[in-house]
A = this chain, B = another copy of it.
Amino acid sequence: MARIITISREFGSGGREIGKRLADVLGIPYYDQEIIEEISKRTGYAEEYIKKISEKGITPYAIHLATSFSRYTSLENTQMEIIVAEQKVLKAIAKKGDAIIVGRVANEVLKNYNPMNIFVYADMKSKIKRCREKKPEEQYTDKQLEKKIKKIDKDRKEYYELISNNKWGDKTSYDLCINTSNVQIKSIIYPIARYIDNWFDSNE
């Protein structure tokens, strides 16, 4: 069976960097932009628009979609349409073979493919520091940056919990939870890659 690795992450925790570096070390394809392109092809929406909507919170109305489709606004319909396309794209990727996927509730959407699921998190101080290093051109105060980080994670949580019955970040949904506070991402890639290798070998 293909080796599917999903990485959920708090904003600023370095989860995306971990995903990309693991892909290099393990020689497993990392999917990100390709997912957006494929959703765009399937739905006809612009890539920029899809990026804006993906992993965003959704109005509670949309949760009841199944009951009465006609009651929803155009935005909510669009959001649901993109979610459905995203799930199809993720499954198509998993069918193709090994994959590393960051975010997108992939651990839940692909659970029939026995993925190894990782959650990456960190304390606020480390997340702020990492955001500053990544985008030194941004002129936020610490307070503004903290607010931004919390808002993005609130959106991710809402998006996750719309699709999953589990709580976003609850360790029982993940096989390994990595705290990147005060940790250099580079220095932990090799041990995580070995952990993943051995985890799959031990599960087969």
Contact = CB atoms under 8 A, between A and B. Distances in A.
A178 B176 contact: yes
A183 B197 CA distance: 12
A171 B171 contact: yes
Contact of A191 (B178, B182, B191): B191
Contacts of A197: 191
A188 B202 contact: yes
A177 B171 CA distance: 8
Interface in A141-199: 169, 171-172, 174-179, 181-184, 187-188, 190-192, 194-195, 197-199
A184 B199 CA distance: 8
Contact of A192 (B119, B171, B191, B203): B191
A121 B194 contact: no
A184 B203 CA distance: 8
Contacts of A81: none
B203 A183 contact: yes
A199 B183 contact: yes
Nearest to A117: B179
Contacts of A137: none
Contacts of A195: 188, 191-192, 195
Contacts of A123: 172
B202 A194 contact: no
A201 B188 CA distance: 10
Interface of A: 119, 121, 123, 169, 171-172, 174-179, 181-184, 187-188, 190-192, 194-195, 197-199, 201-203
**4 closest cross-chain pairs (CB), A and B:** A177-B177, A191-B195, A191-B194, A187-B202
